[in-house]
Amino acid sequence: MAKTIYDYWFVQFDFPDDNGNPYKSSGGKMSFIDDFGLAPSDWKFGNLYDIAEFINGLACQKYRPDETENSLPVIKIKEMHEGISSNTERVKATIPQNNIVNTGDILFSWSASLEVQRWAGFKSALNQHIFKVIPKKNYTQSYVYHQLRAYIIKFVQLAEARKTTMGHITSDHLRQSVIVLPPENIIRKFSNQIDKIHTEISRINKENQELYQLRNWLLPMLMNGQATIED
């Protein structure tokens, strides 16, 4: 549902105009932007670096804690998919603040597996090969997340064009991206509409991770007979 709303507003450009009508379908003024195409005439040309900062993760082996230190679990690609487990690597809790991830932060894995998600787990540390994406002023978490998710299709195509099985996105690729930047009031209205959806998505993702961990704990006991399922 959230993606459908994003596409309707920022791909088809049928966001509500001043009269509440779909902008493009109601004859809203459009202009041609080089390397992009048609867009609303009062929108600006830009790139992904205009809307967010991209903070790369740490080489976490340099920050391994000893038994007496407070520590944080490390988010790698596996944790992005499955959540934190007892096998998750840990690092010192004193790592730089920029490399700490909190619930709801946007993560973008830029090597091997190209994907974007909002972290549903608890406070953790960020491994290298994953960006933490921090929206810049006037750009909301929801808007940046959907814009990046929409653009990642082009990054996948870029990797395929290089005929490689491993995607690898650099800061240069981010600077060379081509997007149009909507006015602040459009971004704010969009976020007000879908933030509740993302709150529910986060709740469900967190529940899924807990169920996944419970399954992994139960399955070995079922296999070796320590636990049984009644008819």
CA–CA separation, 91 and 63 (whole Å)? 5
pLDDT for position 148: 95
Residue-range domain boundaries for the chain = 33-219
pTM, whole model, 2 decimals?
Answer: 0.85
pLDDT for position 82: 82
DSSP state string for the chain: -HHHHHHHHHTS---B-TTSSBTTTTT--EEEETTTEEEETT-EEE-GGGTEEEEE-B-GGGG---TTS-EEEEE-HHHHHH---TT--EEETTS-GGGEE-TT-EEEE-EES-EEEE--SSSEEEBTTEEEEEEPTT--HHHHHHHHHHHHHHHHHHHHHTT-SSEE--HHHHHH--EEE--HHHHHHHHHHHHHHHHHHHHHHHHHHHHHHHHHHHHHHHHTTSS----
pLDDT for position 107: 96
CATH of 33-219, one of 3.40.1440.60, 1.10.274.10, 3.30.565.10, 3.90.220.20: 3.90.220.20
CA–CA separation, 98 and 145 (whole Å)? 18
Burial class (CB in 10 A: 0-12, 13-18, 19+), 98: middle
* Cα dist from 45 to 34, 140, 144, 178, 187, whole Å: 9, 18, 16, 7, 15
For 167, phi then psi, to 5°, come to -70, 145
CA dihedral 97, 102, 108, 112 (to 10 degrees): 90
pLDDT for position 155: 84
Strands 30-33 and 130-135: unpaired
pLDDT for position 164: 52
Closest to 6 (Cα-Cα) out of 173, 175, 198: 198
Q: How many residues does the chain have?
A: 231
CA–CA separation, 108 and 147 (whole Å)? 12
pLDDT for position 167: 59
Per-residue pLDDT 10s for the chain (231 aa) are: 999 999 999 999 999 999 999 999 999 999 998 888 999 999 999 999 999 999 999 998 889 998 888 999 999 999 988 888 888 999 999 999 999 999 889 999 988 778 999 998 889 999 999 999 999 999 999 999 999 999 998 888 777 766 554 557 888 889 999 999 999 999 999 999 999 998 898 888 888 878 888 888 888 888 888 878 775
Tell me the CA end-to-end span of the chain in Å, nearest whole number.
38
pLDDT for position 72: 95
- Kindly calculate the radius of gyration of the chain based on its CA atoms and give it in whole angstroms: 21
- What pLDDT digit, counting tens, does each position of 171-191 carry? 888 999 999 999 999 999 999
